[in-house]
Chains A and B, each alone.
Chain A
Amino acid sequence: MKLMFNKVLKIVKAMVFLGLLFFFSNAYAQPRVISGKIIDAADASALPGVNVVIKGTTTGVISNLLGEYTIQVSGDDAILIFSYIGYEKLEQSVAGISILDVNLKQETTALDELVVIGYGTVRKSDLTGSVSSVKGDDLIKIPSSNPLMALQGKVSGVQVSSSSGEPGGAAIVRVRGVGTLNNTNPIFVVDGVILDDVSFLNTNDIASIEALKDASATAIYGSRGANGVFIITTKMGGFGKEAQVNFKSELSVQKLQKEIDVLSGREFAEVLNEITPGTINNLDAVADYDWQESIFQENPLIKSYDLSFMGGSDKMGYYLGAGVYDQDGIIPKSTYKRYNFKLNTDYQIKKNIKVGSNMSASYIDDDNAPNVVISAYRAWPIDEPYDANNNFAEVRGTGNPLAAIEYSNSNSKNLRLINNTYIELTLLKDIKLKSSYQLDYSAQREKIFSPEYYVSPTQQVTRNSLSLDFTEDRRWIWENTASYYKEIGEHRINAVAGITAQELYYESPGMTVNRLINEDPTFWYVNAALSDTVYVGDSPYETSMSSFLGRVNYSFNGKYLFTASFRADGSSKFESNNQWGYFPTFATGWNISDEDFFPEVDAIDNLKIRASWGIIGNEKISWNDRYSLIGNDFGAVFGSPELIQSGATFSGTGNDLLTWESTYQTNLGFELNAFSNKFTAEVDFYRKETKDILVYLSVPGYYGFGSYAKVRFNAANVLNRGMELNLGWREKKGDFFYSFNVLATTVHNEVLELGATSPSDSIIYAGSLSNGQRVTATTVGNSIGYFLGYRIQGVFQNQDDLDTYPSIYGQKIGDLIYEDVVKDGVINEKDKVEIGSPIPDLIYGFSATLGYKKFSVSMDFQGQYGNEIYNGKNQTRFSLYNFEGKVRDRWNGEGSSNTEPKITSLGGNYQTSDYFIENGSYLRLRTLLISYDLPEKLMEKAGLGKSIIYLRGTNIFTLSSYSGYSPDIGGFDPLSTGIDQGIYPITSAYSLGINVTF
């Protein structure tokens, strides 16, 4: 496209130059005839039906079938306006010329661009739902194995956060807040295939991602739409398109963004002496070992190579892509390699029959990182990793992190095949019947080997073990749809109806054996085990769903838009009496600027108002909640010698009355295009309320369901509401082009009902730290999973304070004073209050691109505001660990500090409190990209086409007061997010890449 743009630009420049010349030499009016040919700038095809109008008049003609026109103008100062639907408007002076050939360029920001929606496409101007679109070019700006990470700060209403910085780490995506207490992940529809996860997908193969947000857009997905839907379209060649080969290579270097400030060896020794006087006699002799530095690799690389072929003949189109992504993690033994293969084909086998298939294959070889982030954080800096004999030495507090890396061997290999084959019949011109069969097959093998070793009494394994787990996840969907499209005068109807069925099969047999005959990797097989004890397990299940769907889009005169859709889903997860859910939606849109009464404001190109209401569901619940199962893991040990005898009894209690969670969503949106489409603005207000959310409620202990046994009921109710804003400006001026984008999202999240059967159910505690302390709570009237703890009132400065304020667990002078909120003279659970929320008030992003000739620079900023992070790793202390730097300001006598207590390693100061709350707001320079188009002539000589070389930085800086590696901390469980328990650091990366097309 850029190539064509440059050509047009050249022609235009030449014309303007010539025009000016004539203007000055021949500056008087004189009627005459202008003629010429209008062609498409892209493929030079003639454009019939183009409007040619003399500016400032109503005089005009239309080009003929060959694209030719003839028009009479009054004089040299006349300007011709060429306009054609789907093409950019062009104005041309006629000074001094009689033949004016014109190249029209297809409009890229056109309102009539097609937007992909569920089971079809719709013109942007006819859209009644809230849909945001991201193009593939924007996605490949992030060197990440997961394409979703590239959506961070790119789509309003969507929050993307990291579960971990580990290579291959999952992205956590939330659309318009957290609408349920259960699985709140959106679904992904990749070339029509409905998936739960797209981490296998090669970003390079993606043409666009559309985020469907409101009910109008998502309700066609019925029970799967409530958490939002992302429609991902992969690249495709077109019929008759010339072959295009693209090669891309990128090399990135990763850097740790920052180290966590912990005490040095000497500082730690001083602290030890404060806790137990006389522990270290000579402070000058202690070691000072930086454990963080020891576990992080320097400059680990990401290498990626992509090769793709795209094109077509007159009866077929194809895209063939192959890619390799190879990332070394910042922690040793966390390498991630992925090989992708993609083949999309379309064949027009008969005049009205089209068949095609979209196939992806991926193979992932992933070393799972050893869990050492937290141990490096805790390790005593006065301990060294190796003893005099160069063996691993005991590291107090936590075990030797380097030994943990050495002895960790965990690898998973995953093969995933996805295929969607379809046949489409065109019937009576307006009706299309389509049948598609989709298969998603994933096979995984995970192997974990732990050798026999001894580092210290608490870090040893006395018998080696090998675990081998297989996972098979196989699902198919068969969709049959009929669609109808008709334009009759001012009426435009676009309808679709269909029946779908799907089935999912899952099985994950696994086994663990002990005492391999040899520890060499060539013996990491279960037949090498000497011990005859084999631990086995499996968790098979099968679910199915069948659905009926339908949607009608109707637009009148391009001004009045209506959409109604309906889906009925039946799921095997529910008992037959309650297994069907019905999900309707209604939406309307009004292109108000097209109305006659709308004031003639030149600046405004289009203004649209749209509104929608609908019900959508969430079927992402466990398959077995309805069943009361008998488990067979309940054996008893008898005999001499002792042996376990199998046993079986009740295991879990189901509820056969369960049914769908449903989300009622309303949306009001405004879209504005102005200043010749240079400015775009989109504002949406949304309100979504999810009812019948599945929650576990307590049952009496005497029922005998077991300790803390709860049973699931449809009982809770959650509200999310807020606003989304998306502003853009893009303009080209000569060789200079630039664009700006701003987006912002607000979320107000509130639990309206928890369906408490007992006061103990009126609060859901979650956010368990590894020591069992729970730091989040969910209650009616608050946001989901807020942090619940004590408020710090100060530090006990003296005996007076200790006598005045209540204390707990034998607190002494110098310890934290917790606020006695209920003022009953004791500190207990009742005094815990909301001390923060992991849900940001505002999620935002802004970006700018500046280009001049062959250079362009773009920047993406992304951030969030108003959320808190719970520094759980600092609170979790089973033993004496190293401390964070803030203890340097600790209390050491009356008046010394009223915020930082005296040093203690355990006990009263380590209660859940706002001492561990930190500000989670941040602003991050997500990417900075500098690219240069290599000189065309040079490339042509080399037989290549347009080629780009670029330099890019990712996560270059983060403005944040958070003490941990990165403030980007997510969590899959909506009840337990924003808690840092030692997250694998998210790195910054610097990349050099080349992208060659020929």
Chain B
Amino acid sequence: MKIYVYSLILILLMSTSCEDFLDKAPKGNLTSGNFPGNADEALLAVNGVYNTLRIWNFNTGGFPIIDIMSDEVRKGSNAGDAIWLNVYDDFTFDQGATDFESWWATLYQGIRRANLIVEKVPGLQDLDEDLKTQYIAEARFLRAFFYFELVRTFGDVPKVLSITPETSLSRSPVDEIYNEIIIPDMEFGVLNLPQKDEYPLKDMGRITSGTCSGMLAKVYLYRKDFINAEKYAMEVIDSKKYSLDPDFSNALSVEGEFGTGSVFEVGAAAEGFNEGGNQYANTISVRGTPNLGWGFGRPTYELIQEFGSDPRADATILFVGEVLDGVEIEGDISTPDTTYTDETKTEILEVECYNQKVYTPGDEPRYSFGHNRRLLRYADVLLMAAEALNENDKPVEALFYVNLVRERARGGNENILPDITQRNKDLLRDLIIDERHFELALEGHRFYDLVRTGKAEEVLGPLGFKKGTHELMPVPLSEINISEGKISQNDGYDL
């Protein structure tokens, strides 16, 4: 009989089963939906927007392709490395180039992270109203900045203002993006964000009112609205929160991080990405010995020659054989010291050298992850002011600001870089663009400057630049394909 009792127990045991058993939530991980749900999470989410600035692909897709397109930079590294990048040296890229795809997607990734703040933070109950406004302003500026990168690179782009993406968007006109997102978002920041010195020291590097004004000045230059460009550039200057570090090299060095001339800068630590590192400089910095990076984006031989006696060359271009901080730059064994255009070796194509603006002391790749990328420097603001003032027929003031930059560059040597005195608007415009060329070389500005001032064909034509096409980059082919054609292509790229 016992056996039946046992059996009964077993059968009863067998039939126990419950639905909850199959419900297993993630462990130690929030899921999207209720995030951010409180004040602490709101700060985390805001920092998450800034985090986008350290994503490798945020930097023109990863490799410095926009610089490579300019006359300042060639592909770099050794001849066989990442050869697909050669297409940016001679403008033979097409819409399938994946660098655009990852760049585009990363900018939208930043936009989504910013939209998360704009969408969720206003509803948080436990968040102080001032802080709430500040968080939203920080996120909105960054959103505007990502959109600005998009429109100046790709032109019309899909307009996304929500974290729940609409599924069949087409491209919105550039003007709409500027007028409905970029300008209002940045203006909101100008009005609602603290000045640089109003943040506690630990928050140095957050978006300031000055960052917003400076970027707005740039936005208006691209819009050719020189009145507003002047206005916002002068706001930065008149705020007296910024000045030029007397030493040009400090504007970009590790020592000069978050220095007096820093308007918009991406903080980074000499660690891996998760711990705060940024691979931007590692991609560009010295390849070989010391082992700081991959060596992409080599300064052109032309740039070296154009610098002439300009002392800024020394802090811009790092030559093989130079000794910095007691370390000799030996470079890469697979890269010839000098490469010629042909077998007869009469004309130099390039010499092995590196971008010194991203140089970090040390002899390990890790150190280059600590370089703070400067997205907006005070010198840039001064030159923008000069440019706008010149366009607004105020050559005297324009000359004052451009000469401030030259004076600092001179480093006390009165025999070089004399003050510019040209007052002819057209000629002065060229001189200011040239000044930007030398002051801001290798920092990602040159190509855009040439395009927006209409000089691209003249300067870059010999490299392969085609007017009417290369002013804008191709919309990633994947984007067009997935949208089944709802997303259109820019002129000259559709095959």
B227 at the interface (CB under 8 A from A): no
Whether B13 lies near A648 (C-beta < 8 A) is: no
Contacts of B272 in A (CB 8 A): 535
* The residue from A535, A546, A704 contacting B109, defined by CB atoms under 8 A apart: A704
A234 to B21, CA, bound (A): 32
* The residue from A636, A700, A906 contacting B483, defined by CB atoms under 8 A apart: A700
A598 at the interface (CB under 8 A from B): no
A-B contact pairs, 12 of them (CB 8 A): A435-B10, A457-B289, A460-B364, A576-B22, A630-B31, A630-B35, A637-B276, A649-B51, A699-B482, A702-B160, A703-B160, A758-B484
A62 at the interface (CB under 8 A from B): no
Whether B108 lies near A648 (C-beta < 8 A) is: no
A878 to B102, CA, bound (A): 23
Whether B22 lies near A636 (C-beta < 8 A) is: no
Contacts of B109 in A (CB 8 A): 704-707, 709
Nearest to B2 among chain A residues (CB) is A350
* The residue from A276, A640, A644, A701 contacting B269, defined by CB atoms under 8 A apart: A644
Whether A638 lies near B291 (C-beta < 8 A) is: no
Beta-carbon contacts under 8 Å, A615-664 to B: 623-624, 627-640, 642-650
A570 at the interface (CB under 8 A from B): yes
Whether B288 lies near A701 (C-beta < 8 A) is: no
Given A433-B11, A638-B203, are A647 and B80 also a contact pair (CB < 8 Å)? no
Shortest distance between the CB of B304 and any CB in chain A (Å): 22
A345 at the interface (CB under 8 A from B): no
Nearest to A653 among chain B residues (CB) is B32
A462 at the interface (CB under 8 A from B): yes
Nearest to B202 among chain A residues (CB) is A639
Contacts of B33 in A (CB 8 A): 628
Nearest to B367 among chain A residues (CB) is A462
Given A639-B204, A642-B269, A644-B276, are A649 and B26 also a contact pair (CB < 8 Å)? no
Contacts of B29 in A (CB 8 A): 627, 629-631
Contacts of A640 in B (CB 8 A): 201, 204, 257-258
Contacts of B118 in A (CB 8 A): none
A572 at the interface (CB under 8 A from B): yes
Contacts of A633 in B (CB 8 A): 274
Contacts of B80 in A (CB 8 A): 877, 904-907, 910
Beta-carbon contacts under 8 Å, B444-495 to A: 476-479, 481-484, 487
Nearest to B336 among chain A residues (CB) is A276
State how many residues of chain A have any CB contact under 8 Å with chain B: 91
Give 20 A-B pairs besides A638-B204, A707-B105 with Cβ atoms closer than 8 angstroms.
Answer: A456-B289, A499-B17, A535-B275, A541-B24, A542-B27, A633-B274, A636-B50, A636-B51, A636-B205, A637-B267, A643-B269, A645-B47, A648-B30, A701-B478, A704-B113, A704-B160, A704-B163, A906-B79, A907-B80, A910-B80
A717 at the interface (CB under 8 A from B): no
Shortest distance between the CB of A496 and any CB in chain B (Å): 13
Contacts of A644 in B (CB 8 A): 269, 275-276
Shortest distance between the CB of A906 and any CB in chain B (Å): 2
A615 to B193, CA, bound (A): 62
* The residue from B7, B24, B32 contacting A628, defined by CB atoms under 8 A apart: B32
Interface centre among B24, B50, B57, B106 (most CB of A within 10 A): B24
* The residue from B31, B165, B333 contacting A880, defined by CB atoms under 8 A apart: B333
B169 at the interface (CB under 8 A from A): yes
B177 at the interface (CB under 8 A from A): no
B81 at the interface (CB under 8 A from A): yes
Interface centre among B113, B169, B477, B482 (most CB of A within 10 A): B482
B324 at the interface (CB under 8 A from A): no
Contacts of B13 in A (CB 8 A): 435, 480
* The residue from B3, B32, B36, B202 contacting A638, defined by CB atoms under 8 A apart: B202
Contacts of A632 in B (CB 8 A): 30, 44
Contacts of A939 in B (CB 8 A): none
Contacts of A630 in B (CB 8 A): 29-32, 35
Shortest distance between the CB of A27 and any CB in chain B (Å): 64
Given A629-B32, A637-B276, A644-B275, are A700 and B51 also a contact pair (CB < 8 Å)? no
Whether A707 lies near B17 (C-beta < 8 A) is: no
For the complex of A and B, the 5 pairs showing the least CB-CB separation, nearest first, are A906-B80, A704-B112, A649-B48, A647-B47, A637-B267
Whether A701 lies near B7 (C-beta < 8 A) is: no
A180 to B430, CA, bound (A): 62
A650 to B105, CA, bound (A): 14
Whether B24 lies near A543 (C-beta < 8 A) is: yes
A880 to B55, CA, bound (A): 30
Whether B267 lies near A638 (C-beta < 8 A) is: yes
Given A572-B22, A648-B41, A648-B48, are A700 and B10 also a contact pair (CB < 8 Å)? no
Contacts of A435 in B (CB 8 A): 10, 13-14
Whether B479 lies near A635 (C-beta < 8 A) is: no
A757 at the interface (CB under 8 A from B): yes
Interface centre among A423, A503, A698, A810 (most CB of B within 10 A): A698
B290 at the interface (CB under 8 A from A): yes
Whether A707 lies near B106 (C-beta < 8 A) is: yes
A770 at the interface (CB under 8 A from B): no
Given A704-B108, A704-B111, are A499 and B26 also a contact pair (CB < 8 Å)? no
Whether B288 lies near A457 (C-beta < 8 A) is: yes
A423 to B9, CA, bound (A): 12
A397 to B290, CA, bound (A): 15
